[in-house]
Structure 1
Amino acid sequence: MLLRSAVSQDTHTSTVGLVVDQMTQGAWVLLFLWLVLIAYLLPDGRAANRYWRWWIRFGLAGVVIFLVGAAGDRQGFEESHRGAAPPVPWLPESVCAGLGVFGLLLVVTLFFGSPVAVWRRLRRAHDAQRLQLLWLVWGTLTVPVALLAGWVNHFLIPAVPLFPVTLALVAVVLPVTVGIAILRYRLFDIELVLSRTLTYLLLVVAVAAVYALLLLGAARYVGSDTVGGLLAVVVVAVTVHPAYSFLRRHIERWVYGLRSDPRAAIRLLADRADAADPNGLLAAVADAVAAALRVDRVRVESSASPDDGALREPMMHRGERVGYLAIDVPAGRQFTRPDLDLVADLARYAAIVVRSGQLNDELRESRSRIVAAREEERRRLRRDLHDGVGPSLAAVVLKLNATQSRLDQAERNALIAETREEVKAAIAEVRRLVDDLRPPAIDEVGLLGAVRQRASALTGEVAFEVTGPDTLPPLPAAVEVVAFRIASEAMTNVVRHAGATRCRIVVEVGGSFELTIADNGHGLGPGATRGMGWTSMRERAAELGGSCTITSRPEGGLIVRAVLPLHANQPEEVTA
């Protein structure tokens, strides 16, 4: 009735004019019909598929049926023409009412089907088509604004001609937005415009609803519109800013993720990573980044893959690249500067999580290697004892039995001599096994003395110098063994491969045990490869939670630096 009265308020008194008025009583439905058709046909002028084509045909048939039924609305015609009867005899009023209701239902289905059609097109749209449809969506938001203004105009402030102004706004905004969609679809950031429009539209609707409810409640229960107006102003003044912040935050998240709230994006990443299983940590990081950016797919890659159109952001941790965030940007969407800034922030924090996962994997592999090495060492000891000491002791027993059965003194003395040699061989074998478990020189002369003995044995073309504290504090057995093995391996490499004339070994003990081996050789050449010795030194240090680095000296040569923690809970022994 509101729209019909707005369209037909300029009535005619001539016979021709009355006929036109009767035939066009339902013409108000045409106000939004063209907009609905644009929604179905934009951007290529065709319906999305044959089902939508039939849907449009049924809706247009409903428009015709509604116009036929509205032409027979005798009561409505008389109300708008001061009691004048319709000039054209028409269908019975009951038939017209049924046609009008049926036709209006079809028109309503056509109207409410248009957002569904646009939404389905948006899901499959690419590049320019997506931006064109987003401009159309923004332009159609003026329609509910016009309806809201009409209701406010009719029920609250009938003296102000607000509804014609909003209709004019619709008539201007819709062609402009459609023109931008077709001609200059990249003129503005439509996602930002759309989010702001939705924010203010919902805020206006909420404020108007609260204001009207407070006025009606005050008039009903207090009997004073003034009290209701004052109360409404106070409530609106207090709640409008929190409501605006709430709406803006949630609408912007719905439109383009957490671009405007990087802290929320970081919290999301932290929460997902914290709740994830260690084996699913990378998948949790990818899901969190995809949710924060509102994209379909994000991958964590260890190295840059061939160019497949994805946006790749390097993940850096303490100057080291630990991987890439590969983001599949949706078709038709371009990342703006705030988007790229958020990607960079997420990559920084994701690098910490990814590196943590990598360290966890390395720790698990290191523990596996330690267990494997321990079992290998046990198998070697079992084999050596079974094949070496065991047979020697068995031979000793047999010879002792044979000695007991001999009556001739010379034969007995010969067997005793052989038995003595067997026992000596068994003792030497046991000593060899013990030496392999822990270098005896450490217990005999201390760690520094053992290193000096090893350096003295290797001295020849290379002059070794070993320096350290006069008295070392008590060290964990594992640290002593690992330090000695690293020093021995490094000094052996200097003699074999460095081409050096001098080598200096420095031992320092503070918060940790530090061992430095520096030589004046040729260092790392262009074709130098890192062999098993270097890997062994690094793994030995890593087993204790320490580190071993090998770097070149500016003046020539290499520096091997091992740092070993001095924890009280270190294992008592580390096998060779």
Structure 2
Amino acid sequence: MRISSRTWALGLMLLALIQAAIAAAGAIGTGMSYAVARDSFLIPNAMIAVGCAVSGGLIAWHRPRNLVGWLLLGAGVAQTATPAVTPWLVSALVHDDGPTRLLSTVYSLAWPWSVSLFIPLALMFFPDGRLPGRAWRAAVVLAALNSVLQVLMFSAAPNPLVPVRGLDTHGRAVSWLAIPFFNNPTLQLASDIALMITLVAGVAGIVVRYRCGTEKLRRQLLWLLLAATISVAVAGSMRLLGPVESTGFPIILLTVIALIPVSMMIAVLRYQLLDIRLVWARTVTYAVLTAAVVATYLGLVELVDRLLRPRISVSAAVLATLVVAALFNPVRVRLQGFVDNLLYGDRADPVRAASSVAAQLAGASEPADVLPAVCHALRLPYAALADEAGVIRGEHGMRPAMLETIPLLHAGERAGELQVGIRSGEIRLAAADRVVLELMAAPIGVALRAQALSDAVQRSRREIVAAREEERRRLRRDLHDGLGPALTGIGFRADAVVNLAEADRLVALGTDIRSAVDGAMTDVRRLINQLQPSALDDVGLVEAVRRHAALLDRRMDGSALRVSVAADVVPADLPAAVEVTAYRIVTEALTNVVRHSLAGRVEVRIAVLDAALELTVADDGRAVNGRWVPGVGLTSMRERVAELGGTMVAEPTPAGGRVHLCLPLGGER
């Protein structure tokens, strides 16, 4: 029968809790004093182990594929085994009875696995159960090997209960696994260095994940970093405890390490439980403030005491207290403002935030370009700009699950909306954030409406150009298919009159009619060609360009010129405006090469990419007198492209010159 992962998780968690209960029952049953329970590390070991077991059990229950849960469960089971035997080991040593060597073996064998293997690996695999990279595999192997060495080193200690004052073991607490070779200071130093490397690898993995991770991953890591910061701060404060150190109070403070597995559990299962950024803001503010106040107080006491001791006995403490009290609130306000700005941007200063966005908007080519400034001003994870039809015009950041909308108004009319992402850990947009965003909305709304009007003008311009070219195409076909044949027929009839006429006057009149018809035909052909190059109707854009290129085999100075045309599959039903503009610009660009460059080779590329016609004319002409001479006609070329909402670049290259244009096909086809 296959045991499910949830059953294993529940079983291991219960095992750890049972061992913790045995430790508590043993302490009460054997009459263990608080001092012995403290100095033997029974209390911190049990607290940390229970935190690991419960946190790991919950993770393994809900996320069985996440290795972090199982590692914390392993740490909980291993570390609760040591406090479970501690009361019985102390009792056996005090009363000189009981299996002291067996109990000592379990005491030294169990908890080192937690510290040297399970917890370092949990840090490396946090929060998704995967290593940050392949480089961390070596750290995993080092932790596995060093954990065995740690167990053998602690087992080789002649007295595992050295911190317990007044407890003399007389060699009775020697583990069965005691090997004298491993009770070596040099070997112990090497093992401690290896342990430090594995812990540093875990911390480095967290740093790498934070720098390269998503917003969700960073918020998960902030939970662990908050617990680790508190633990380090508490550990560091042990050096400032002075007289209370003799009471063993620092050992009790180690229980704060239990916050680390608890923070891992929250990060994996409920990282949105609180706004971790706000928690960080308050924690960092008051931690730094408290440290500053304590340091200032102690420094002032020491300084004033040295200066005034010969004259005033209590002045130092009184004066220092007054100075600290006077400085406390201004420092708190400034420090809180600094931390809030770090985590929430300029939320406390709406005018400044709106001004920064307005300044960014002034230099932006489109209203959507201001979105990064909006996110930066308030440290928001996401921002998007939608027009009045609800179409997203631009976005910045990763779109979260929760959004809030700020309407953008212009002259009392809705111009669109600004969508912003809710910070992880928050359930709604804060009132202070909304005030700032509403202040930003005014200039953004004006810019969005101006952009909409500009787009409408450009769209109308494209439609006019397209209609003009389509009308020209229609007129050309009408002239070619209607008037042209009619004039040809008239000419033939005039020829017939001349051939059949006997009188000189009739012959002259027929000849005049024929001349007039020929002149009209010439004018019609010229008009047809001006309306649209005939080659486009006959063979299409690509073949028309090839035919024109075939005629250009010499430059103006008589030098040979080779023109090649490369084209992908180009639709035959291109919009008339696009087709004519592309052809005109290609022929103009090739003419410029022939007249003004020193090129020996020109390459023309034609393709349709992303609903746009892209065309490039590149030559290998060397610069003339150190500068590139693009020729004339660039202004009219750019105007033609701008009429269709396209883009054009004419520039020198290391090899010669290049003209590139992109004409959107849009809905005109």
Which has the higher Rg, Structure 1 or Structure 2? 1
TM-score normalised by length of structure 1: 0.47
